[in-house]
Structures are given as C-alpha cells and as structure tokens.
Amino acid sequence: MLKAFYRRQDFFPSWLGVFTNPFYFARVGLCSVVTAFAPKLNGRLLDVGCGSKPYQKLFAVDAYIGLDIDSEPSRQRGIADQYYDGKTFPFTNASFDSVLCSQVLEHVFNPNEFLGEIARVLKPGGKLLLTVPFVWDEHDQPWDYARYTSFGLHALLEKQSFRILVYKKLGADPSIIAQMANAYLYKVSQGLPKLVKLLLTVTVMAFINLLGLLAGKVLPDNPDFFLDHAVLAEKIS
C-alpha cells in the first residue's frame, strides 16, 4: 500500500505530495494538463515512449497501445505493447486516431523524423498531445539531447503538418524556483543513505515546496521562464 501511495503521489500528487515529491510542481503541471486534454483524444491511441503508462487511466479510448524504444530496460519492464528501433514505428500509415507523447521528445536525436513517424501513423484530423520540458536538468543520461523554445517547438510541429490547437507553458510562475531548488537537492543527495534522503524530502524539500506555493500566490508570473511545454495539435494532411 505504501508503494502504491508513493507511485500515485509521483504522477498524481495531492496536497500530500508537497511532503513526498521532490518534483511536486512539475508533476502537478503535467497531471493537470494531461487530465484536461485527455477527453480530446479518442479512438485508437498510441502512447509513444510509454514507459510505465502512468496516464493510461485518464483516457476513455477504444484501444490504448504503448510504444517504447527497443532496449533492455524497456524489455525488462514488460509494459509496452510494441517496441521500435529509434527510427520507424512498427505500424501502418494512418492506423491511429490519437497520440500521446509525454516527456519524450528531448530524448530524440532526430526530432523531424520522429515527429514525421507520429504524423505518418496518425489519421488526418488525428490529435497529438505532446509535453516537453524546457527548464530542467540533464536526465536519463546520456540520452538527453535537446530543449526547445516555444518558437522552435512550433516550427518542428508545423513542418510535419501539425496545426497547433492549444499551447500552454507549465510552471511559468515563481514556483519554478522552488522546483529547481528541489531538483538540485534531489540530484546531489542521491549518494546519501535512504533514511537521510527521506528526512531531507519530508523536511527541507517540503518546506521549499511550501515556499513555492506561497510565492506562486503573491509574486507575478514570467511567461518566458517555465518548466514544460504542453501542446494539443491536429494532423492536417
């Protein structure tokens, strides 16, 4: 039960996540936008870079198919329904009505080809829900290749025949400072004993989360400094 609680707080943080989740603000933003946009996706849905499929339960679709890179960790996880070689998706043209791709594009060294594959397997008029980090540390090293400005991301999508329906910047407020502080503490504390890391999380990191919540209420937003992009796009051809 404790493991299930921590897993839920990891991707769907409640107020308790303030005390347990070093990535509270980032995960709250992602959870809120995926939850809000989920009803826009229907039919056969492809989750590209599905990982553990954390958001599957949010989608009321005809079929939910997880695709992951063909690697030893992905195979051992055993959650993906299909695997791909990093170049070509193992599906025919126009075989999906919608695509979810969350926090994956930064790990792709060939973004034009990758988005082209998403467009290829989507039907005309199909929807893409895409989230991508902007301000974040290097992670899943050495497979972290890129960060995109809003202008760069728009250009990539439009080049692959996507029309952007909704675009949001997540964490574009003072809470981003608290999130960066906790991301720093999390990274530098990885060599410490588990009990010390737990105490650090429920005390120092929790206090920083609380400061971030307060700062987000009283200080102005900054739309040029944000955690993540969130895009709902439509394939137009």
pLDDT in tens, 170-185: 999 999 999 999 999 9
Residues 87 and 165 in one domain: yes
Q: Which residue has the tokens 């949010």?
A: 58
In this prediction the pTM is 0.94
Q: Which residue has the tokens 């209420």?
A: 217
What would the pLDDT profile of 60-90 be if each residue is shown by its tens digit? 999 999 999 998 888 998 999 999 998 999 9
Q: Which residue has the tokens 């826009």?
A: 40
Residues 129 and 20 in one domain: no
Residues 153 and 210 in one domain: no
Residues 45 and 80 in one domain: yes
Residues 27 and 100 in one domain: no
Q: What is the extent of the structural domain holding 168?
A: 41-172+225-237
Residue 17 has pLDDT above 90, yes or no: yes
Q: How far is CA 1 from CA 7, 58, 77, 130, in A?
A: 10, 21, 21, 31
Residues 20 and 117 in one domain: no
Q: Give the total number of structural domains in the chain.
A: 2
Average pLDDT, the chain: 95
What CATH number corresponds to the domain at position 104? 3.40.50.150
Judge residue 57's burial from the number of C-beta atoms within 10 Å of its C-beta, 0-12 exposed, 13-18 middle, 19 or more buried.
Answer: exposed
| Angle between helical axes of 24-37 and 2-11 (0-180°, round to 10) | 70
Residues 160 and 64 in one domain: yes
What would the pLDDT profile of 201-234 be if each residue is shown by its tens digit? 999 999 999 999 999 999 999 999 999 999 999 9
